[in-house]
Structure 1
């Protein structure tokens, strides 16, 4: 829908003397309807996964708050990453779309809702009150059998697939609805680990330690945020020709009560599950702005798709940028290209808005399994950060050199800057410089530190 232009205004009438009130009322109603349609369109985008057209993870958690569920299946495509790497991204997208279409076609009635989860997972939420464990088992067996028997034909290439399923049955007597996802996820991981095709969550199994650890981490994170024990560490980024440190990346770190560092890989997942993630992002953003206000360096922060789609976080980011325009002109926002962000209108709008303040946009981990030059062009980026998987062995791996040279040449043609990540030793650094990459980042250049 077009808000500004002939399409939007075509039904409006010019006011004439004598009917001003009626015309104004009619035009106002048209405006309300059009804005309502536009808002609904944006909402649909926020809740829809691009490749499959299914509802997404965000919508599942909204539904878990408003619907009384009976059970949840989490479905994982076995060895999807290997298939995606071997056959290519187009084949990966084809597989995801095909599995999504199949699942949707098998649960046509209103007893089930289907969602596309991140990466290679799907969810089926059972909402019929009288659903039984036996029914969920039969559905799972049917999905597994049908997909095993199916040959997915991609451009003349037959691809065989297998899936693994984790199942959780909602206990109305002693469980919060939100626990349903955690239990299904635990069941799925247990099935994977023990090479089972499906598995029901069972509270008698040894999941207690993991759940207790997650609860402990959640409390620890909440306290750490309150007591300012979540802070940014700054890793230098070297300009390869000048030999000067021109930029820093701001990386989140958390410390426990005894001063021991807790790795981001351990607490960020908990932060997302407990809705503390926006506070982590806002903390790093505000502390980074304070640090670099009196400096001349560029500095980067990492934003996820969830950060941009969360209205509170997005508004806070814009507020901080608006209040610090000079500092904001040196801000680089790093986005993960693997999240399919180029298809979300709010993301495109956000990028346009921050670039009005002089902020730059970088794509992180470029060259990983999801990378696509066409997607980058949609996002109006300034910097490509070449993925560690390509850089770490670039001094001795000819395939890494070929891919990296392609990325570098592409970037030079379009005026993008390039940064090599994971430059861990001198031989890697020399090769990076030889290949014409603009910047280097990694432990050979400098470790992340709390102070500059």
Structure 2
């Protein structure tokens, strides 16, 4: 009983809301509710024939079933009555061994029938819509209550930091018991992720989102639940829409079991009442697994699982994937690089180098590109190319940008440099700290017109909120805007057509072999022709020798192209 009252508070369903939905009760009569009861009993027998004998043995005929539905319907409109009735239903289900997922399917069918009647009536009484939507919210709150009540584990009383929604132990509990409870030889760890879960909350509301989480947790328990160690189950809730399951067996058996589970849940979507109709909500899952012996500790294991999941989500919509050695090595490298950058930032070991960007026809220095570097404790320099893609997963590149921007612009002001600086800006900085550029140039007395901002196209610029407005703001201040890495990953010509940019940098992989690969030459020539039409500057990266330089000049013809590469000088570290 306490749980339902708590849910009323969590979802802000107030006593006055109950008073308002009571107005809807008068639109129903006993014959309608009795009819719904008979239809639901027929649905139970049709979908779940295993309950036919149970109902018969318990003496539940059509009339008694309909009477039970009527009692439940009448209780919905009054908080205390609803609390007592729902508690009785939960106890009955436990005594009769009724599966919660079977019950919730019938419950949503009941809700859909009630709401359908009301929405039909609302066509003539539109003033009812507000209260119908309140009743819909209440029906979902009741669904959350039913699912949560059935979702508790036997071990819940012994678990500290248990997830309050599902009753499952949390990430903290995995870390607590893992070292002493894991037999690593025949144990696999699997992470399940509900795809698009944020959209469920956005489109349908948090009551529906919570219903989906608990529904899925219940499904996991019915398939995988067993006591693991010290009273803990083998299923944990990692965060939001992610769950962690430990499964014993060979790799083949584990894979078979997980794939069978995915097929089962695909065949049982959650059917929710929405706007007077029943909406089928598919739960789309992507999951990854590995033997737990790949790591010495749980932190590394979770890192590999969660980062592998990120990798697979780039290319896969759903399914189950075992993590191979390549993925493990990539995840391990990413972890090491993230640790490297965090430590370098903390210990003030971030510096920068300048590399010339040359006007290919006059030979003058057009600008210096500012390149991030990390100094190791023994004085070696690590270029950004080693770690930049790895840290962008965690928006650490924004922190790195801030340091490099501040230090490079201070250096320019202190030394009186007249040449422009061309600075890479990550999505992370543009998303949350775009004012930094204006502040740093103003504080150091550097005109924004002497700063080129390079947007890194490999990070998918379209994900930046209000991108056009941010670029317009920076250009109004006087900054020049170039797109870096053009032609790689997310690059597309629509961007340079729709964004008010000043230049593009052709990614070096199309330039370095232009003397050997005809397709690279064709691509560069096409980019130059588009840039000529749009009247934007072009920088060709990776000009390493005279032959490449000659080809670029020949392709450009009368178009003034800029160049960058070892032919003009290697990056030089500035202190």
TM-score normalized by the length of structure 1:
0.58
Shift of 1:227: 3.8
Q: Which residue pairs with 2:353 in the alignment?
A: 233
Q: Does 1:304 align with 2:393?
A: no
Residues 238, 247 of structure 1: 8 Å contact kept: yes
Q: Deviations over 1:358-403 (max 9, x none)?
A: 1111111212354322221222110111121221122243322222
Q: Secondary structure at the match of 1:329?
A: helix
CA distance in structure 2 between the partners assigned to 1:407 and 1:228 by the alignment: 40
CA distance in structure 2 between the partners assigned to 1:259 and 1:130 by the alignment: 42
CA distance in structure 1 between the partners assigned to 2:496 and 2:553 by the alignment: 24
Q: Which residue pairs with 2:371 in the alignment?
A: 251
Q: Does 1:404 align with 2:527?
A: no
Q: Does 1:185 align with 2:287?
A: no
Q: Does 1:111 align with 2:213?
A: yes
Shift of 1:346: 2.6
CA distance in structure 1 between the partners assigned to 2:455 and 2:245 by the alignment: 41
Q: Which residue pairs with 2:411 in the alignment?
A: 291
How many residue pairs were aligned? 322
Shift of 1:423: 0.7
Residues 337, 365 of structure 1: 8 Å contact kept: yes
Q: Which residue pairs with 2:572 in the alignment?
A: 449
Match of 1:438 among 536, 550, 561: 561
CA distance in structure 1 between the partners assigned to 2:326 and 2:464 by the alignment: 40
CA distance in structure 2 between the partners assigned to 1:369 and 1:446 by the alignment: 27
CA separation of 1:397 and 1:278: change in aligned 2, threshold 3 A: closer
Which runs of 5 or more residues in structure 2 are unaligned?
Answer: 1-162, 175-189, 200-207, 216-237, 248-253, 267-284, 313-318
Q: Which residue pairs with 1:84 in the alignment?
A: none
CA distance in structure 2 between the partners assigned to 1:391 and 1:143 by the alignment: 49
Shift of 1:208: 9.8
Q: Which residue pairs with 1:329 in the alignment?
A: 449
Shift of 1:189: 7.5
Q: Does 1:420 align with 2:540?
A: yes
Which runs of 5 or more residues in structure 1 are unaligned?
Answer: 1-63, 77-96, 101-106, 114-123, 145-162, 191-196
Match of 1:363 among 452, 469, 483: 483
Q: Secondary structure at the match of 2:387?
A: helix
Taking only aligned residues, the RMSD between alpha carbons, in angstroms, comes to: 4.8
Bigger proportion of residues as helix: 2
CA distance in structure 2 between the partners assigned to 1:187 and 1:199 by the alignment: 9
CA distance in structure 2 between the partners assigned to 1:128 and 1:218 by the alignment: 23
CA distance in structure 2 between the partners assigned to 1:130 and 1:218 by the alignment: 24
Shift of 1:333: 0.9
CA separation of 1:438 and 1:139: change in aligned 2, threshold 3 A: farther
Shift of 1:430: 1.2
CA distance in structure 1 between the partners assigned to 2:395 and 2:523 by the alignment: 38
CA distance in structure 2 between the partners assigned to 1:281 and 1:415 by the alignment: 29
Q: Which residue pairs with 2:380 in the alignment?
A: 260
